[in-house]
Amino acid sequence: METAALKNPLSEGLRLERTPEPCTVIIFGASGDLTMRKLIPALFSLAQQNLLPASFAVVGAARSPFSHDEFRDKMKSAIEEFADVGPQDANLVDSFVSGIYYNPSDPGKPDSFQNLDQLLSQIDKDRGTSGNRLFYLSTPPSLYAPICKALGQVQLHDSKGWTRIIIEKPFGRDLDSMRALNKDVLSVFEEDQVYRIDHYLGKETVQNIMVLRFANSIFEPLWSHHYIEHVQITAAESLGVEKRGGYYEQAGALRDMIQNHLFQVFTLVAMEPPVSLASNDVRDEKTKVVKAIRSFSHEEVPHFARRGQYGAGSINGKPVKGYREEDQVDPQSSTDTYAAVKLCVDNWRWAGTPFYLRSAKRMPKRISEIAIQFKRVPHGLFVDTEASSPTEPNRLIVRVQPDEGITVKFRAKLPGQAINIRNVNMDFDYGTSFGKKSPEAYERLLLDAMLGDSTLFARGDMVEASWELLMPVLDVWSEAAGDKFPNYAAGSWGPKESDDWLGSEERQWRRP
Ligand code: BG6
């Protein structure tokens, strides 16, 4: 059971820099890419910033048979390759790596979990980690439920300290599988022990959305259907599926990015002010706004969604192959590499102001942004003014990545005797304003989980509501083969059908 620690909203939400209690982080899927590229480097970076407790250990768990030393060598190489290691860090690398252990673990072999239990007790004795444990499931999703059950069988879900479990996305691949997984996880752990991770919530710019909205007085009065015409949330990537064709074939853009990352961003933009920053107060508001999204039937899907798949094309002048030619991809694949949905939020704040969410691979550039488009002025005083640039609506653009920042786009008079009007920008740029690199999302999220702060993790009810809403799209898309695929060239801004769809609503996709 989770302890009652951190129930004070101020300590929970407005977290000042604190170090967690002594603990052990146990990573399942320890020989995988995520562990080496992100998790271990993030933990090491926390060590560099003195944000880890003095008594701390990491246990790698996977099927492969490594010794402790072999695994330590592997993790040392990962730190050297993927973390920001300076010449002054040599001792720190060695001492960090000396606190790493390995336990061959297979949920099909109960003995291996008994060994894990013994190893963790030994580490508690040797390193003073007090029985506090953070499990991290970074395995293929099919192993999430078996690992939870195996942990439960040896009582590892309940130690003399606190026990928490982080579960990587995807949390289910549709509504039924999400519910089944949730049931399996909750048959072992309590909801407040479960941390469903969505790394977008760890991004500095995403966390800043709440600050932008609720720490300033100038935006909130405009933040509604009275002034906002529509909102576009985009996550575009120039990369293709790289080596993940096998996974991506089962996922597609809607499952991979929209159901989780973009929905999380959407909730932060659209939710009501929470009564406090306590984890459940924030997550209550996020869930409420997802529940306010108008649901649609299978027949209505064409009004609410578009999909696409990239064919051969070029990125930055270099030719790239089409999705169907990628490794581990079916040459007839109907998987979406482009997905866009329209969310109509039926509440007092947003009635009549749609949110469009779009994500795709092989776009011309990597960019994630939120574009809030304001309504036009009620009466055009300057319509007859010559030599003005075409009227662009006012926009507030939150650049999530790269070039993190915020831009306000408005109209201004060009100096001179006549009234010539131009579109201009007012810019805030994280890099120049703060002169400080934003921490990696995984650093913040691992630290929060060690501190017991679940604000930036997805709660089960919201995950369920988002799958529920998207089910008609998934059903319709899986029934109808993508026979018009590929329908956009790599390096373009997506299929014409999607541009036409927005055009039919008298709107246009932004080309950021
Ligand atoms: C992951 C998706 O969750 O997010 C990937 O599975 C995607 O397909 C990645 O590339 C994007 O993350 P980021 O932080 O680079 O925007």
What does each C-alpha distance from 437 to 110, 159, 205, 375, 423 come to in angstroms? 44, 37, 12, 35, 30
Q: Which of 125, 90, 100, 115 is nearest to 40 (CA)?
A: 100
CB-ligand 1 contact for 369 (6 Å cutoff)? no
Residue minimizing CA distance to atom 9 of ligand 1 = 257
Ligand 1 close to Cβ of residue 256 (< 6 A): yes
Please name the residue whose Cα sits nearest to atom 13 of ligand 1. Answer: 200
pLDDT at 420: 87
Within 305-360, strands assigned E span 305-308, 310-311, 313-315, 318-320, 338-343, 355-360
> 379 catalytic, yes or no?
no
CA distances from 504 to 228, 308, 442, 501 (A): 19, 18, 40, 5
Q: Terminal CA-to-CA distance of the chain, rounded, Å?
A: 47
Output b/e per residue, 244-272; b: 16+ Cβ within 10 A: bbeebbebbbbbbbbbbbbbbbbbbbbbe
* Best of 197, 199, 255 for a ligand 1 pocket test (most atoms within 8 Å of beta carbon): 199
pLDDT of residue 12: 45
Region of 2 (left: φ > 0; alpha: ψ -120 to 50; beta: rest) is beta
CA of 458 from ligand 1 middle (Å) equals: 17
Query: From the CB of 237, is ligand 1 less than 6 Å away?
Result: yes
- Cβ atoms 238, 363 nearer than 8 A: yes
Question: How far is the C-alpha of 511 from the C-alpha of 63, rounded, in Å?
Answer: 45
Q: What is the DSSP string of 448-481?
A: HHHHT--TTSB-HHHHHHHHHHHHHHHHHHHHS-
* Residue of 157, 199, 230, 261 marked catalytic: 261
Determine the distance separating the centroid of ligand 1 and the alpha carbon of 236, expressed in angstroms: 10
Q: Whose CA is nearest to atom 6 of ligand 1?
A: 256
C-alpha span between 63 and 104 (Å, rounded): 5
Pairing of strands 133-137, 228-236: unpaired
Residue 200 CA: nearest ligand 1 atom is 14
Q: What is the pLDDT of residue 4?
A: 40
CA 12 to ligand 1 center in whole angstroms: 27
Is residue 198 in contact with ligand 1, taking CB distance under 6 Å? Answer: no
Distance between Cα 261 and ligand 1 center (Å):
9
**Which helix (H) or strand (E) covers residue 444, if one does?**
helix 441-451
Q: Whose CA is nearest to atom 8 of ligand 1?
A: 256
Cβ of 204 less than 6 Å from ligand 1: no
Q: What's the CA gap between 27 and 442, in Å, rounded?
A: 13
Nearest CA to ligand 1 atom 4: 257
Q: Which of 257, 329, 403, 438 to mutate to test the pocket of ligand 1 (most atoms within 8 A of CB)?
A: 257
Q: What spacing in Å lies between the alpha carbon of 164 and ligand 1's midpoint?
A: 24
Per-residue model confidence (pLDDT) at position 179: 97
- CA-251 nearest atom, ligand 1: 6
346 bridge partner residues:
none
pLDDT of residue 159: 83
Index of the ligand 1 atom closest to the CA of residue 261: 3
State both tokens at 248. 């991506």
Whose CA is closest to 62, among 104, 25, 101?
104
Q: Answer whether 21 contacts ligand 1 (Cβ < 6 A).
A: no
**Atom number in ligand 1 closest to CA 203:** 14
User: Which residue minimizes the CA distance to atom 10 of ligand 1?
Assistant: 237
Average confidence (pLDDT) per 10 residues, the chain, 512 residues: 42 62 97 94 96 96 96 96 92 96 95 96 96 96 95 90 95 95 96 96 94 95 97 97 91 96 97 95 97 96 97 96 96 96 98 98 97 92 68 92 93 88 92 87 96 94 96 94 88 97 96 92
pLDDT recorded at residue 273: 96
Give the nearest ligand 1 atom to 237 CA: 10
pLDDT of residue 387: 56
pLDDT for the residue numbered 386: 56
For ligand 1, what atom is nearest to the CA of residue 441?
A: 14
